[in-house]
Amino acid sequence: MPEFAKNIVVAHRGAWKTQGLPENSIAALKHAIALKCTGSEFDVQMTADDILVVNHDPEYQGMSIPETSYADLAVHKLSNGETLPTLREYIRAGLENNTTTRLVCEIKPSKTVERGEFMAEKAVALVKELHAEDMTVYISFGFEILRKIEELNPKAHTQYLEANKSPEQLKAVGIDGADYHFKAFKKHPEWIESAKKIGIALNAWTVNDPADMDWLLEEGFDYITTNEPEVLLEKIKSK
């Protein structure tokens, strides 16, 4: 069983910045694990031939991921020489020598709700096949994507990214956390209190300014998602 690191640091797209690594690379994931972040986030897109791949944008080196086969995309390497990681490869790498760092899997919404739900189905099946269920947190801007994941596996841990639902609205459909832009919590401080009261996890993105980190730490957030995991880890250590 995982024993997640007892900190609140989620490395956004892996820990890439200080190492000069490509965002969402397996190397950036490995570095987040080496730092013992409690989570490492990554983004999932789907190719024309229905392969889930890890990349932030729907474009990869000038090609549209949903309209290009994996073989054609994979001709082009990441800047560190890695091949464009499939979700399978990424999760397998994330399971190696790792009991501390959650795999925070963002399913990117697709052109249609159906395609997004299909991606969710494929991701849930893959996570199950790889025995990564305890290690995985699913996040998405797609409310229907998270609902689909909860329908397929009610034990899955899910967090919603678009700050247009109250913690009560998330709870009502079985979503487990509010992972909102930190400014949304400044606008809706009442969400912080109600989330704690009803057991909705609190996460905020993308928090790179030390002053914003301090505020979220004071507010008792469960997770803080950042491009500066080293800064946040150091801050916690000195508290």
Task: Give the binding site for Mg ion (CB under 5 A).
Answer: 43, 106
Residue 98 or 203: which CB sits closer to Mg ion?
A: 203
Q: How far is the CB of 43 from Mg ion (least distance, A)?
A: 4
Residue 24 or 100: which CB sits closer to Mg ion?
A: 24
Q: What is the DSSP letter of 77?
A: P
> 160 pairs with which residues across the strands?
140, 178
Residue 43 or 228: which CB sits closer to Mg ion?
A: 43
Q: How far is the CB of 1 from Mg ion (least distance, A)?
A: 26
3-class state of residue 179 by DSSP: strand
Contact predicate 96/129, CB 8 Å: no
Residue 104 or 124: which CB sits closer to Mg ion?
A: 104
For the purposes of burial, counting CB atoms within 10 Å of the CB of 131, is it exposed (0-12), middle (13-18) or buried (19 or more)? exposed
Q: How far is the CB of 239 from Mg ion (least distance, A)?
A: 27
Contact predicate 25/13, CB 8 Å: no
Q: How far is the CB of 41 from Mg ion (least distance, A)?
A: 5
Residue nearest to Mg ion (CB): 106
Instruction: Count CB-CB contacts under 10 A for residue 64.
Output: 14
